[in-house]
Amino acid sequence: MKVGIDGRELEKNKLTGIGRFLLAFLSKAVELKNTYEFFIFLNQNCELHLYSDNLTKIFLYEKSKFFFDQVQLLSAAKRYKIDLFFSPYYKFPILLDIPVITTVFDVIYLMVEPYKNKFKNNFYIKNFIKFTSKKVKTIITCSNTAKKDIIKLTDIDEEKIKVIYLAVDEKFTSQPENKIIQIKRKYNINTKYMLYVGNSNPHKNLNRLILAYDMLPGEIKSQYTLVLAGVQKKDILKYFFSIPDWLHIIEFVDDDDLPALYSGAELFVFPSLYEGFGLPPVEALACGCPVVASNVSSIPEILKEAAVYFDPYNIEDIKDKILKVLCSDSLKNSLFTSGIKHAKEFNKENMVKSILKIFDLALMS
Determine the pLDDT at residue 292: 98
Give the pLDDT band of residue 228 (cuts 50, 70, 90).
very high
pTM: 0.91
**What are the extents of the domains in the chain?**
2-167+347-364, 177-343
Give the residue from 251, 254, 247 showing the smallest Cα distance to 232. 251
Determine the pLDDT at residue 14: 76
Determine the pLDDT at residue 191: 94
Cβ-proximal residues to 7 (8 Å cutoff; 6+ apart), any chain: 22, 40, 41, 42, 46, 48
Q: Which CATH architecture has domain 177-343?
A: 3-Layer(aba) Sandwich (3.40)
What are residue 140's DSSP bridge partners? Answer: 103, 162
Cβ-proximal residues to 176 (8 Å cutoff; 6+ apart), any chain: none
Beta strands in 156-290, from DSSP E residues, in sequence order: 161-163, 192-197, 224-229, 247-250, 267-270
Determine the pLDDT at residue 112: 78
pLDDT in tens, 86-141: 999 888 999 999 999 999 988 888 777 777 777 666 666 777 777 778 889 999 99
**CA atoms within a 13 Å half-sphere pointing along the CA-CB vector of 118:** 12
Q: Which fold has domain 2-167+347-364?
A: Rossmann fold (3.40.50)
Fold agreement between 2-167+347-364 and 177-343: yes
Average pLDDT, the chain: 92
